Structure 1
Amino acid sequence: MRTVSWLLLLVWGLGCTSARLPPRTQPAPEGFSLTGVVLGANGAPLEGARVGLIPFVPAWNLRTDAPVALVRSGPQGAFSFGPLTPGAYGLSAVTPEGRVLFTERIHVKAGEPGAPRVLRVPEDRVSWDVTVVDEAGAPLPGVELRVVRVGMPYDDVAFPPASSTGRFHLETARDGTYSLIVSAPGFTTKMQQVERLGEPVVVGLERVADEAMRQAAVDWVRRNGLKLQSVEAGHGFEDLAPLEPVLRDVRVVALGEATHGTREFFQLKHRLFEFLVTRMGFTVMAFESNFAEMLALDEYVLTGRGDPAQLLKGETWDTQEVLELVQWMRRYNADPSHTKKLRLQGVDMQYSPAAVARVVAYLSKVDPSQVAQVQTSLAPLTERNAGSFLRLPKERHQEIRQRLDTLSERFEREREPYTRQSSPEEWALARQSLRVLRQYVGHLLREENGMRDRAMAENLLWLLEWNGPGTKAVVWAHNGHVKRGPSEWLDMPMGRHLAKALGPELYVFGFAFRQGSFQAFNMDPHPPPERKGMVEFSVPPSPEGSLDDTLARAGAPLLAVELRALPRRGAAYEWWRRTQATYDIGFIFSDQGYPAVGSVRALECYDGLLFVERTTRAQPNP
């Protein structure tokens, strides 16, 4: 998909992948032309650079849609586009030597001629080679490549010439996060994140599965899929009973979702959690929500203090379906016969004023001399707009990072006296709040690719330990986070970190649907008043041959599929091991059109699948 912004990702937890939709026709151009020049690092003009222009609009699909224009620079490095419609654009160039260049976002305004643009090779750059291979490991001829640089609020895309050998040499600026989109006739288009600039990258493409493989996959699901009676809790567990031996030795069940706003997904998760609690001894529900902010809901579930509807405000999960889950957990804990109480907790580590407040309140109790300095240092972390933090001088970033590290060392050093003045639980919660603040700063400063997912996995493992030996937990997050294998945007999602730590004690359910409605935040730049904020969207039936379409052909409107039981040979296996298209929608969508279809290697990423043929919107709380 078109990423909205890595800032929006860190605020909203998108976890989405790119789409595979038919190319769109670009609007008829009008307005002013855009001119510019491509220069080498020494300022000399460069001829023959491939210069591309893309629109920065929600509907543009970076995997499949054509650029607005694609030209080569002339003898003096000059190029021109146009005429252009008013709007925002991204400009890139790839020189004959493979040097990839980008400019800042370009704004074309009606009635105003645009200034010439300069694309200059950076002096500080890194070289790396890309080889595209088939399933046998042989380089593929005729490969097309797109180089994606994650940006704000849209990604930049550059267009190297196609390779007759399957090999590309690239040079890029050292800063930035990059992904590659690779396509070849007869093969499934693939997006792959570049983990470490400067190291060789190999991208393996798979041949598109044939109809015989797909039919074998359908037949296997018909024979082995578990038909569920209802998504709603309160219908007993007879139909879920076959899952007991599957999950008997599991410590963590990860429940994904193909959107962050589907009623049936939320209801089914509630029902599964009741089953796991009452039949299998699970006690923790951990959301893709901020650790510190969820502590108030955890307090409600344990004691009944607070208003759960108010405590859900501001959460992605502020819906009637989640409120019903929270209230059920409270009723369960209020029963004195249930001696092992349920906990409702968060594993995320984004903007978190509650974490700052908890650290300050704890220090006020055990170490008042530290409070004033900590409040001043950490004040930027209480601002909702992460951009305000990023605009601070680098020296201020370093100061905040150092303050968190020093304070963490102090907590460890003073653990015994701190605990004597408070309690082990208070110390642990304040210490963990410090940890998530440090994770957040590292995420903002891009200390490593995928730091958010690593942090969420570490926080879940901490919760397992903190809640005591034998604790079993359910984690609720987007499909893109729970995957055992790499996604298109992230090599190491949360689920892959958890798989390394837990092995077969982790069971990951991906969620899929064929068609229907959901709620999401409307990212249109100028929506009408009635379409602002969280609104309802709908999508038509998933493309023929997709994962969702294949599951629908099995004929059950509600289905559980145990992928660990799939034989590792035969035509069905050949279909399931390959990359398949699937609906993959996060927190955001658009009335203008938005890429809704991503892709997944289900057998690599999930242990099981839960499928709903038709969905409806999650119901917002009043």
Structure 2
Amino acid sequence: MATDIKDTAHAVEAAAVMKLLPARPRLLALGEPTHGEDTLLDLRNELFRQLVEQEGYRTIAIESDCVKGLVVDDYVTTGTGTLDDVMAHGFSHGWGASAANRELVRWIREYNDGRPASEWLRFAGFDGPLEITGAESPRRALIALHGYLAARVDTDLLPCTAETLDSLLGADDRWTRPAAMMDPSRSVGRSADAKELRLLADDLVALLDARTPELIAATSYEDWERARLYGRTATGLLRYHFWMADTTPSRMTWLVALRDRMMADNLLALAERGPALVHAHNGHLQRARSTMRMAGLPVAWWSAGALVSARLGEAYAFVATALGTIRHQGVDTPPPDTVEGLLYALPADRCVLDAPRLATALGDTRPTPRVSPWFGYSPLDPARLADSEGIVFVKDVPRSSYQRRCGPYTVA
């Protein structure tokens, strides 16, 4: 068996990954089983460079706020702002403190400098403006969408004025109360103002769609595409806030499902642009149904990867990452009867494996599921090996400077 497994392992290179796939996908998803480790982000960066140089990839999308990501994209394409400002304001979840993320942004800007727009590399966040403590106010996205339309369509077609939106939105801090995550009564999501905003946002998006030809002609496809992102974000946030105010047992199922739905919508929009490397937690990119327990209740939903894969078929490919040790988090050498333990016995420090072939090589010998002593790391499910096209295995993950400064961001 060890020989069979070794035969499926290759160096982690773009060419080796592409050989696992039936065709070049529009979205190549690379998952990670934990957050905040620059070792994994450095590997992602190198793989993206190779995909750019060898396979014609032009976009990288990461698990970060999709609207903040526009700040990064503006910088890497046109040089707007400074690198320090972009790292401070262009990322959510604290990702801007990562040296590997900073190097990614620096490299993309350097690559684009002096090239025509048709050859630019692009950056995107594909998460909603959501944090573990709650959700952002819909103000930023709603006002931006309204402003785009107000400058280009007849006033009498608009469902409201900017002043009406401002009045209904009120102070942003009433939307972002951390207490609302655990206490639905603290959420503004089912107030009369919020319900009116949902109707107005829906009408603004409908107007954007209905006037597509003239809007693209009057501005550009890029500007129209950005307005679509504002529309998706505004309606998604208002829907998320609505369910934050729910008091039934379905509340958390709705919230986790809506987050992945927002991710999926952003990924499907990116797929229209051309081949992209997508990087996020394995749990957001897998095809299998996601499950967990929250507040003692079972929660099950379809991840962004599952939603996108159902729509794109072979145009979506998923490569999961597995780890041997994260000793600074108490994750030591994996037991030999686990998938990670079998891979840890391979000679390479890192490798990529054909996941279906690995599952076949294991045959009826079902490895024991690995149990992590640290909640921030999610081991592979041995029953789902064949659900991905490949597995990237990294034997040992040392503590990074990002970890020392910021600590782990553990929520998928």
The residue that corresponds to 1:257 in the other structure is 32
Which residues of 2 match residues 175-190 of structure 1 at below 5 A? none
2:309 aligns with 499
Q: Contact between 2:20 and 2:390, CA under 8 Å: does it hold in 1? A: no
* Structure with the larger strand share: 1
SS in 2 for 1:580: coil
Residue of 219, 225, 228 corresponding to 1:431: 228
Q: Deviations over 1:147-200 (max 9, x none)?
A: xxxxxxxxxxxxxxxxxxxxxxxxxxxxxxxxxxxxxxxxxxxxxxxxxxxxxx
Match of 2:8 in 1: 224
Q: How does 1:534-553 map to 2 (within 5 A)?
A: 537-553=329-345
CA spacing shift, 1:596–1:558, aligned 2, 3 Å: closer
1:548–1:582 Cα contact (<8 Å) kept: no
Matched-pair contact (CA < 8 Å) for 1:224–1:561: yes
Deviation at 1:500, TM superposition (A): 0.9
Q: Is the 8 A contact 1:479 1:510 kept in 2?
A: yes
- Given that residues 356 and 381 in structure 1 are in contact (C-alpha distance below 8 angstroms), is that contact kept between their aligned partners in structure 2? no
- Aligned partner of residue 33 in structure 2, secondary structure: coil
2: CA distance, partners of 1:271 / 1:595: 24
Aligned-pair distance for 1:517?
A: 5.3
Distance 1:340-1:421 versus aligned 2 partners, 3 A rule: closer
Q: Identify the residue that residue 486 of structure 1 maps to in structure 2.
A: 289
**Structure 1 position 348 matched with structure 2 position 130:** no
**1:608 correspondence with 2:390:** yes
Q: What residue identity is the alignment partner of 1:545?
A: D
Which residue is 1:376 aligned to?
A: 167
Distance across 2 between alignment mates of 1:439 and 1:392: 12
In the alignment, what sits opposite 2:197? 400
- SS of 1:312's equivalent in the other structure is helix
Partner of residue 20, structure 2: 246
Q: CA deviation at 1:387?
A: 4.6
**C-alpha spacing 1:553/1:227, structure 2 compared with 1 (3 Å):** same
Aligned pairs for 1:565-580 (under 5 A) are: 565-566=357-358, 568=360, 572-575=362-365, 580=369
Which residue does the alignment assign to 1:450?
257
Contact kept in structure 2, 1:252 and 1:472, CA below 8 Å: yes
Query: Whole-Å Cα distance in 1 between the matches of residues 152 and 353 of structure 2?
Result: 52
Say if 2:75 is the partner of 1:304.
no
Aligned residues: percent identity? 24
Count of aligned pairs between the two proteins:
363
Q: Which residue does 2:51 correspond to in 1?
A: 276
Q: Deviations over 1:89-118 (max 9, x none)?
A: xxxxxxxxxxxxxxxxxxxxxxxxxxxxxx
Structure-2 separation of matches of 1:378 and 1:434: 16
TM-score (norm 2): 0.77
Note if 1:365 corresponds to 2:155. Answer: no
Q: Match of 1:223, as an amino acid? A: D
- Structure showing greater radius of gyration is 1
Structure 2 CA distance for aligned equivalents of residues 438 and 336 of structure 1: 36
1:321 maps to what in 2? 100
TM (normalized to structure 1)?
0.53
CA contact (8 A) 1:485 1:604 kept: no
Unaligned runs of 5+ in 1: 1-215, 229-238, 519-536, 585-592
What SS does the aligned partner of 2:370 have? strand
Q: Which amino acid aligns with 2:162?
A: V
Aligned CA-pair RMSD: 3.1
Distance 1:595 1:463 in 2: 29
- Which one of 535, 557, 573 corresponds to residue 349 of structure 2? 557
Structure 2 gaps of 5+ residues are 130-134, 181-185, 244-250, 293-299, 407-412
Aligned with residue 385 of structure 1, among 165, 172, 177: 177
CA distance in 1, matches of 2:189, 2:26: 42
